[in-house]
Amino acid sequence: MSIIIENEYQGAMLPDYETIIYDIVNAALDYEACPYECQISVTLVDNKAIHQINKEYRGIDRSTDVLSFPSLEYHEAGEFDWLEEEGIGCFDPESGELLLGDIMISMDKVREQAEEYGHSQRREFAFLIAHSMLHLMGYDHMIQEERLIMEKKQEEILQMKHYTRDE
């Protein structure tokens, strides 16, 4: 597996942010039983940078906590079987890894939301990685039923790695 981490954030970082990324990415892939080695990009930015990307790509003129850019369009969320027949262009030709997509996280929002929700920045950061990984695997939360499924999966992934709200 390749996780490409780009830290463009100028502020103080969580001391173990890379470990958290690896923990949660691996836990999410295991949870969804992804049968492939994957390639994922994670970029850490500030509110200004994510605001700009959010406006450019989504037409939303404000900062957000996390943006997910999936490389695949799933027939069904979390289902990888179709890749055997249809997914030839979904793999890196050099490494053979499944190109899952890109994650962008505002570290400013990690701090703000951890304080707002009353838990640690580590937990908030892990939550945003889990949330985004589910998006990269085809999940969404636009309707109530999908939101409930995604919330349950996020919480179970975080519990697997012991990133709890009381941390």
pLDDT digit string, tens, across residues 74-88: 989 999 999 988 888
Contacts by residues 45-48 (CB-CB < 8 Å, ≥ 24 positions apart): 45/8, 45/9, 45/104, 45/105, 45/106, 45/107, 46/8, 46/9, 46/10, 46/11, 46/106, 46/107, 46/108, 47/106, 47/108, 47/109
Predicted TM-score (pTM) of the model is: 0.95
pLDDT, tens digit (0-9, with 9 covering 90-100), for 84-103? 888 888 999 999 999 999 99
